[in-house]
Structure 1
Amino acid sequence: MHFNHDNRVGPELAVALVNAEPEADLEAILRDHAIRWPRLDAQGVAVLRSWSDALRAAFETAEPDERCAVINRLLDEAAGRLHLTTHDGLDPHLHLVADEKDVVARVKAVTAGGLAFLTAWTGGTRLGICDRDGCRLVFVDTSRNGRRRYCSARCGNYDAVARHRASRPRT
């Protein structure tokens, strides 16, 4: 599976929203993921915080059937109709809601749609939650073999050291 900019935006934005700290600047996260007109009022922030909780379920389940059911519920809430666009000088591409929709509707559509496309392209196996005890960060597995278990190399190394220390005999 080759991930390019167009098919990474939704899943990577979903990861960023789910992993965002409570005090994180959501507008900055939206700007970092090329969301146009990312202005949020207090209600928009609250809705996206709630939406990120709903997105988490797609990463927490390991079963493809269950993941599909979760993402279908997200799509039911987020998607409008397919909309072909060429904004900002880009080649024609699909949006799941019209460009005129507010930023919250567009974010919900791009994240739900991005997770749906990724799940369909990868057989439902490329979304995950870190295996290290105490870490709840989610990730999109872009590894070649599709067997990523940790959100970062740091968590993987930390876990390996902990397993090594636990396996050594105590003196």
Structure 2
Amino acid sequence: MIFTDDTEETLRSAVWLVNSAEDPETLADLADYETFLAEFPYTGRIDRDEAELASLQALRPRLRAMLLASRDDMVARVNDALDESTLTPHLVRHDDTDWHLHAVADDNPLAERVLIETAMALIDVVRADEGSRITVCDDDTCEALALDLSRNRSKRYCSATCANRNAVAAYRARRADA
């Protein structure tokens, strides 16, 4: 494990949100939003309405910029996010998750909690100097993010689809050369 479970889950959630803006859009309506919530079960206040969906959609470019920033720029972006919110850090344990830190109140808007949780996860990324684990997919036709939490730093693609497409292309190129 590179990071704690809650940090890894937060990074996965942030990458999912960012990638949901790629074509085809996967956070277009409330049904898509329910899919997100099923995959990433946030605790606390969740309104499940169009306004909350719109706030998450609007957050995606900011998350993308935070996740792809250089280390020093990431620090500045994290600090900006933390400065914008009233922080009320407290340790919590819920569901199957052991003790971990919630930095803002559970009744704050979900988009704010997602932003602050992402900022808190990126603190771990900065401290470990592991920003290179968050990259743009290696597929030339894809702009989605790839999150590499593998031990050997081998993940280069955002999804199995992009990985398979590139493996098939490489195979065909080798066969053509042979």
> What TM-score bracket applies, with the shorter chain setting the length?
0.7 to 0.9
Point out the more displaced range, 129-138 or 139-148. 139-148
Match of 2:61 among 46, 49, 53: 53
5+ residue gaps, structure 1, are none
* Structure 1 contact 85–92 (Cα < 8 Å) conserved: yes
2:72 maps to what in 1? Answer: 65
Cα distance per residue 1:128-171 (max 9 Å; x no partner): 120101112213211112243211344223224334545745xx
User: In structure 1, the residue corresponding to 2:6 is in which secondary structure?
Assistant: helix
Alignment of 1:128-167 (within 5 A): 128-163=135-170, 165=172
* Structure 2 contact 17–60 (Cα < 8 Å) conserved: yes
Q: What code does the residue aligned with 2:79 have?
A: N
Q: 1:75 to 1:125 in 2, by over 3 A?
A: farther
1:40 maps to what in 2? Answer: 48
- TM-score normalised over the length of structure 2: 0.75
2:94 maps to what in 1? Answer: 88
* Structure 2 contact 137–158 (Cα < 8 Å) conserved: yes
- TM-score normalised over the length of structure 1: 0.78
* Structure 1 contact 64–125 (Cα < 8 Å) conserved: no
User: In structure 2, the residue corresponding to 1:55 is in which secondary structure?
Assistant: helix
* Structure 2 contact 136–145 (Cα < 8 Å) conserved: yes
1:14 maps to what in 2? Answer: 14
Q: Identity of counterpart residues, as a percentage?
A: 34
Q: 1:80 to 1:117 in 2, by over 3 A?
A: farther
* Structure 1 contact 11–118 (Cα < 8 Å) conserved: no
* Structure 2 contact 92–102 (Cα < 8 Å) conserved: no
Give the CA RMSD over aligned residues: 2.8
Match of 2:113 among 101, 106, 109: 106
* Structure 1 contact 58–127 (Cα < 8 Å) conserved: no
Point out the more displaced range, 80-89 or 38-47. 80-89
2:23 maps to what in 1? Answer: none
Q: 1:66 to 1:146 in 2, by over 3 A?
A: farther
User: Following the alignment from structure 1 to structure 2, what is the Cα–Cα distance between the partners of residues 41 and 108?
Assistant: 18
User: Following the alignment from structure 1 to structure 2, what is the Cα–Cα distance between the partners of residues 33 and 40?
Assistant: 14
User: In structure 1, the residue corresponding to 2:101 is in which secondary structure?
Assistant: strand
5+ residue gaps, structure 2, are 21-25
- Determine whether 1:115 maps to 2:122: yes
User: Following the alignment from structure 1 to structure 2, what is the Cα–Cα distance between the partners of residues 116 and 30?
Assistant: 24
